[in-house]
Chain A
Amino acid sequence: MPVVLVLSLPFLFLLFFKPVLRRLAFRNAIRRPRESLLVVLGALLGTAIMTGSFVVGDSFTASLRAGAHDQLGPVDELVSANGLDDGEILFARFDDFSDPDVDGVLPMLRASAASATTTEPRRAEQQVQLLETDFAVAREFGGDPAATGIEGETPAPGATAIGEDLARSLEVDIGDEIDIFLYGSEARLEVTDVLPQRGIAGFWRGPQTTSYNLFLAPGTVAALYEARVVDGEPPQALVAVSNRGGVEDGAELTDTVMPVLEAQVAGLPANVDDVKQRVLDNADLAGESLTQLYTALGSFAVLAGILLLVNIFFMLGDERKSELGMLRALGLRRSGLVGGFALEGWCYALVSAIAGTFAGLGLARLLMEGASRAFSTGDEEFQLSLRYNFEWSSVQQGFMLGFAIAIVTVSITSVWLSRFNIIQAIRDINEPARKRPRKRALYAGLGLAALGLIMTASGVGSAAFFPLIVGPALVVGGVGPALARNLPRGPVTSVLAAIVLAWGVVCVPVAIALDADFDVFIFVLQGLLLVGASVVLIAQHQHAIGHALARFRPRSLSVRLGLAYPLARRFRTSMTLGMFALVVFILVYVTVLTSMFAGQTDEFADDLSGGFDVLVTSNPSNPVDLDALASEPGVNAVAPLVTRVAEVTPDGDDDSLNIPMTGFDQALIDNGPPILEDTGGYGSNVEAYEAVLNDPSLAIVDDFFLNQGAGPPGDELDIGDSFTIRDPVSGRETTLTVAAIGPNDFLFNGGWMGVDAAREVFGESAVPSRAYVAVDDPAAFAVDFRGRFLDNGGDADPIIDLVDEAFAQQNQFFRMMRAYLALGLVIGVAGIGVIMVRAVRERRRQVGVLRALGFEAKAVRSSFVVESAFVAVEGVLVGVILALVTAYSMTLTDEFGGGLEFTIPVFSIAVLVIGTLLFTLIATAAPARAAAKIQPAVALRIAD
């Protein structure tokens, strides 16, 4: 708000102390209320998009933060140790624990198991969590019984209280029986209670959003483990710690409590995890990441809105040229004129920012509806329940940004408009364009070129994408005035624009090749560069294009008239063209990229699977006997995998991320491991895997290894980079160096490491419960496997199916993005409607003359349609061509997503193009009809 006030100060001064300017501004603003409304509508979209982007981020943050209430509740930190022996020692350490910042500790024993119903048809869940704890203690934990979700008595032997998610999934209720399977044994339990997904009752640490929990009588897990017939992941002892304060604010004490807890477990193979803070931080990070993505993509629509605003102000300036000239002649200073114009703009900016903020709140609600659908597909365990939420600070930020953009745009435009020759303005004569640039333009250009050189050098040196992409374009643009002083201006402009255009096409591959930081804003810059250069180039040759088109209908006066106006008003046409081209460019670009990625499903699946066909998983507490599986008929090879979630910290970072790590052995290499994207200097794929298998300090990761948000890869690890992995249960850790870059991971393998190295870190938990399997008939094998290994929580899927599913979710996300980007089209189409309404107003008299001369009403109507169609078709064509060329340029590098194949989604683009043009014509229909209805005598009688 202070920013809005500061930006408004000069205008408030004019408002209170310059009555003439105030009168001028207000009377102009209310002179034509309907058109003022159009200006406000054009300007409010920017605010709406900004506010919408922020609120989408807020909603995602709130939805993810809700996980802290549902799956952690009072638990702020978690101390863990592997196995019953270490567990006992751990529990003993916390028997008499007290700390002024801690209001409770809760010992729990945890194990994983598979579970199934007892009656046919049996329903099963392969990954359930068994928990043992004293319900009376648990209810008091954290001081807020409701937040724990714990109800009733601690289950008696043979009984279980299950979480509502599991009850829903297995379709069981109180009184039903279920079987659990672990360590080669099974136990039958009666459901005595169903607990809500909240706090301790909903306790869950994995990436899943569901909590498949079974609470058992203390001693049940220990008895099953002691009697084990299969070695599986041992039980884990957990001590949940609750800090003073509520569910979210308790985490603020984590930094103080962590050292105390670490001291408490000193010398034990135990880990202390700031689990609540991590969930909250990740929620904030995901929210910020989505805000950034939406803001970046929305910025195309915002830019289109800015161009529309500039255009409308230029039209206003043109229309009022004579009166402005008269005002100057009467003694109004140029600064006064700027003030009057800008004060009028301030009124529009203020009203549009307020209206836009409300529109943004509505827009975000619509987006969240769409996102809800996108996130409710796929596995139930990973579905995110989205809730609409906004922070006042975000609403204020959206309002402030929207207002600032509008006010800066109108202020600059006002300064520009006030620079005219008084006599020429009064006589409504266009000022002739200068043949040679002024000296000050020369110096400014040279300064710009020097700045561009510095930016280019710094961009190459620091691998920062902004100076790297913008620098060369500034150099080319900056030398323009110097060249145009000595050479013909037109050809110089054309050549320089063509160079910038070419740079715009190749800049992203070049930035990637130079290992520049990647950010989604890179596309905004690229789009601006491309569209800007194209518009300048087209503006230079607009007459040739127009005349060429007119040749198709040489006798049509509507065509001639329709083309005459856009050809004569080059600046305005360029603004409209740029507005259209920008939004079409990004829409088509995202459409083509989606199609290119989707077309790679088979290739990605081939790369990921290597010589294997099926991914099998089983419960780590009751794993499938993979040796026995390997000897079955139809099974050609089995590569056992040890997959555990680790806390990963890249070198130089303080914060860790929870990412899976997968240990592999020689069997994976022997039957063909996944195809690497970059073998990192090793002679072959196999050599790279052998090096990693034999060297416990090496690992293989993919481009998306550290990616926690949406969009293209953010912080990437390169070959030679190091990172630390830490077992979240035992706290053991090791440092790994990236030896090679793997294919994009769609199977939750995470990073690859040798199996021995994995055992060193994860200890007894390093159970080979997953495997890559080569079989004769993947589909039949998968069905058979699921049925036979129900007790082991066995699941099997052909790898191609898993990749297809991942792509389907990705496509859903892309579709949502496209829907958001289509907002830009709304601006483009509405903008052209606004421009045509103003054009009709501006040309009333001319239309009157034409009608007097014998121009039929339908010909007048057609000429307006031709005019808007010409600009729209040009804009759409520029957008489509640039998007296709840019998408093609992405295939020239192997570094973005790896080996993309260029494809053109003809149908999607055709729908987009036809839809855009159709809506443009619809938006033009009303003003064109109004123009056709102009009565010649009335138009000629009215001077204004």
Chain B
Amino acid sequence: MGEALLLADAVEKIYRTGAEEVVALHGVDLVVNEGEFVSVMGPSGSGKTTLLNCCSGLDVIDGGRVLLDGVDIHELSDGQRTRNRASSMGFIFQAYNLIPVFSAIENVELPLLLAGVDPKEARRRAGESLERLNLGHRLKHRPTELSGGEQQRVTVARALAGQPRVVWADEPTGALDSETADTVMDLLRQLNQEGLTLIVVTHDEGVGNTAHRLIRMRDGRIVSDEQVTTPVG
């Protein structure tokens, strides 16, 4: 197992709607080591996605701190946090969230360009990523012209294109049929075996049980954190 990549310390998150306050995270502590494959499970409203958003810096927190490689990401400015995401993180969402006006290859090269990679090099690497995911014949297609499985594979390719240290996946198989879901998870597992840190939020026990570590949440708290399989390395 590698060094601690992510450290969440007493993270709190409160949603406010009018006068009402909903505590989504109650002082959550979490450590994720480099190369780990962590799955986060729990019923709806348990705080899984909120944990992902707060730990990745997508959302602001109301208490505690999140260190990524020793850097408190919530102490960074919005611009610094954004650059940090571009250089070291990848995201996979259930709803794919591809940019509809960009083709598959343009979507995949986006994080590379954001990281300042030369446009030609970015295009080459994006093409390679898609080829690797068997989407070489769909490079110029727009998201609306792709099937759900293909769109999710483009999302995976986009998440990996920038060679991030950690990939956050929120219900990556939620919208896929079981066969396609298996393919996507096999791919993610393979990438994890190659050293990628993977944090997956899921409802799917099958997906959760294939991770090294399974964290269960309820009412904004981590109620269990168990080792399922041994991580590589």
Question: Which of the 9-residue segments B63-71, B108-116, B180-188, B208-216 touches chain A?
Answer: B108-116
Contact flag A851-B82 (CB < 8 Å), given A557-B113, A937-B58, A941-B49? yes
A940 touches B58 (CB 8 A): yes
* Distance from A690 Cβ to chain B, minimum over Cβ atoms (Å): 74
A853 touches B110 (CB 8 A): yes
Asked if A854 lies at the interface with its beta carbon under 8 angstroms from chain B, I say yes
Question: In the complex, what distance in Å separates the CA atom of A851 from the CA atom of B91?
Answer: 11
B85 touches A937 (CB 8 A): no
Asked if A746 lies at the interface with its beta carbon under 8 angstroms from chain B, I say no
Interfacial chain B residues near A567, Cβ < 8 Å: 101
Contact flag A846-B100 (CB < 8 Å), given A853-B158, A936-B58, A940-B58? yes
Question: In the complex, what distance in Å separates the CA atom of A850 from the CA atom of B82?
Answer: 10
Interfacial chain A residues near B99, Cβ < 8 Å: 561, 564, 846, 849-850
Asked if B78 lies at the interface with its beta carbon under 8 angstroms from chain A, I say yes
A854 touches B87 (CB 8 A): yes
Cβ proximity bits A428-448 to B, threshold 8 Å, 1 near / 0 not: 111000000000000000000
Question: In the complex, what distance in Å separates the CA atom of A858 from the CA atom of B56?
Answer: 20
Q: Across the two chains, which residue of chain B brings its CB closest to A429?
A: B144
Question: In the complex, what distance in Å separates the CA atom of A849 from the CA atom of B102?
Answer: 13
Interfacial chain B residues near A938, Cβ < 8 Å: 59
Cβ proximity bits B65-88 to A, threshold 8 Å, 1 near / 0 not: 000000000000011001101110
Contact flag A940-B93 (CB < 8 Å), given A429-B144, A854-B85, A854-B115? yes
Q: Which of A430, A845, A855 contacts B97 (CB 8 A)?
A: A845
Near B by CB (< 8 A), chain A positions 914-944 give 935-938, 940-941, 943
* Distance from A878 Cβ to chain B, minimum over Cβ atoms (Å): 23
A937 touches B97 (CB 8 A): no
Question: In the complex, what distance in Å separates the CA atom of A855 from the CA atom of B85?
Answer: 9
Near B by CB (< 8 A), chain A positions 829-859 give 845-846, 848-858
Q: Which of B49, B59, B60, B86 contacts A853 (CB 8 A)?
A: B86
Asked if B136 lies at the interface with its beta carbon under 8 angstroms from chain A, I say no
Question: In the complex, what distance in Å separates the CA atom of A561 from the CA atom of B109?
Answer: 13
Question: In the complex, what distance in Å separates the CA atom of A848 from the CA atom of B170?
Answer: 14
Contact flag A853-B100 (CB < 8 Å), given A937-B59, A940-B93? no
Asked if A787 lies at the interface with its beta carbon under 8 angstroms from chain B, I say no
* Distance from A56 Cβ to chain B, minimum over Cβ atoms (Å): 45
Cβ proximity bits A312-353 to B, threshold 8 Å, 1 near / 0 not: 000000000000000000000000000000000000000000
Q: Across the two chains, which residue of chain B brings its CB closest to A565?
A: B101
Interfacial chain A residues near B102, Cβ < 8 Å: 564
Asked if B43 lies at the interface with its beta carbon under 8 angstroms from chain A, I say no
Cβ proximity bits A536-576 to B, threshold 8 Å, 1 near / 0 not: 00000000000000000011010001001101110000000
Asked if B193 lies at the interface with its beta carbon under 8 angstroms from chain A, I say no
A557 touches B114 (CB 8 A): yes
Interfacial chain A residues near B100, Cβ < 8 Å: 568, 846
Q: Across the two chains, which residue of chain A brings its CB closest to B93?
A: A940
A856 touches B97 (CB 8 A): no
Question: In the complex, what distance in Å separates the CA atom of A855 from the CA atom of B78?
Answer: 11
B59 touches A568 (CB 8 A): no
Interfacial chain B residues near A554, Cβ < 8 Å: 119
Asked if B53 lies at the interface with its beta carbon under 8 angstroms from chain A, I say yes
* Distance from A144 Cβ to chain B, minimum over Cβ atoms (Å): 70
B58 touches A568 (CB 8 A): no
Near B by CB (< 8 A), chain A positions 434-467 give none
Question: In the complex, what distance in Å separates the CA atom of A845 from the CA atom of B100?
Answer: 11
* Distance from B141 Cβ to chain A, minimum over Cβ atoms (Å): 12
Interfacial chain A residues near B95, Cβ < 8 Å: 845, 943
Q: Across the two chains, which residue of chain B brings its CB closest to A936?
A: B58
Q: Across the two chains, which residue of chain A brings its CB closest to B49?
A: A941
Contact flag A854-B101 (CB < 8 Å), given A555-B113, A557-B113? no
B111 touches A854 (CB 8 A): yes
B101 touches A937 (CB 8 A): no
A853 touches B93 (CB 8 A): no
B85 touches A852 (CB 8 A): yes
Interfacial chain B residues near A850, Cβ < 8 Å: 99, 110
B82 touches A849 (CB 8 A): no
Contact flag A853-B114 (CB < 8 Å), given A846-B100, A940-B97? yes
Interfacial chain A residues near B86, Cβ < 8 Å: 853-855
B110 touches A557 (CB 8 A): yes
Q: Which of B59, B82, B97 contacts A846 (CB 8 A)?
A: B97
Most buried by B among A554, A567, A855: A855
Question: In the complex, what distance in Å separates the CA atom of A557 from the CA atom of B99?
Answer: 13
A857 touches B79 (CB 8 A): yes
Question: In the complex, what distance in Å separates the CA atom of A540 from the CA atom of B168?
Answer: 41
Question: In the complex, what distance in Å separates the CA atom of A846 from the CA atom of B96?
Answer: 10
Most buried by B among A555, A567, A849: A849
* Distance from A115 Cβ to chain B, minimum over Cβ atoms (Å): 78
A853 touches B91 (CB 8 A): yes
* Distance from A471 Cβ to chain B, minimum over Cβ atoms (Å): 40
Question: In the complex, what distance in Å separates the CA atom of A748 from the CA atom of B99?
Answer: 68
Most buried by B among A554, A853, A936: A853
Cβ proximity bits B150-188 to A, threshold 8 Å, 1 near / 0 not: 000000001000100000000000000000000000000
* Distance from A256 Cβ to chain B, minimum over Cβ atoms (Å): 74
Question: In the complex, what distance in Å separates the CA atom of A781 from the CA atom of B152?
Answer: 91
Question: In the complex, what distance in Å separates the CA atom of A554 from the CA atom of B118?
Answer: 10
Q: Across the two chains, which residue of chain B brings its CB closest to A933?
A: B78
Interfacial chain B residues near A428, Cβ < 8 Å: 144
Q: Across the two chains, which residue of chain A brings its CB closest to B54?
A: A937
Question: In the complex, what distance in Å separates the CA atom of A555 from the CA atom of B120?
Answer: 10
Question: In the complex, what distance in Å separates the CA atom of A668 from the CA atom of B97?
Answer: 84
Interfacial chain A residues near B113, Cβ < 8 Å: 555, 557
* Distance from A163 Cβ to chain B, minimum over Cβ atoms (Å): 73
Question: In the complex, what distance in Å separates the CA atom of A508 from the CA atom of B111?
Answer: 54
Interfacial chain B residues near A430, Cβ < 8 Å: 144
Most buried by A among B78, B95, B101: B101
Question: In the complex, what distance in Å separates the CA atom of A853 from the CA atom of B155?
Answer: 11
Near B by CB (< 8 A), chain A positions 507-558 give 554-555, 557
Q: Across the two chains, which residue of chain A brings its CB closest to B78?
A: A857
Interfacial chain A residues near B101, Cβ < 8 Å: 564-565, 567-569
7 A-B pairs closest in CB distance: A854-B86, A937-B59, A568-B101, A937-B53, A937-B58, A849-B97, A854-B114
Q: Which residues of chain B have a CB within 8 Å of any CB of chain A?
A: 49, 53-54, 56, 58-60, 78-79, 82-83, 85-87, 91, 93, 95, 97-102, 106, 110-111, 113-115, 119, 142, 144-145, 158, 162
Extra contacts, 16 of them, besides A849-B99, A855-B86, A858-B79 (Cβ < 8 A), are A554-B119, A555-B113, A561-B99, A564-B102, A564-B106, A567-B101, A846-B100, A849-B93, A852-B91, A853-B111, A857-B78, A935-B58, A936-B53, A936-B58, A937-B58, A937-B59
* 8 A-B residue pairings within 8 Å (CB atoms): A555-B119, A848-B97, A850-B99, A854-B114, A854-B162, A856-B78, A857-B78, A938-B59
Q: Which residues of chain A have a CB within 8 Å of any CB of chain B?
A: 428-430, 554-555, 557, 561, 564-565, 567-569, 845-846, 848-858, 935-938, 940-941, 943
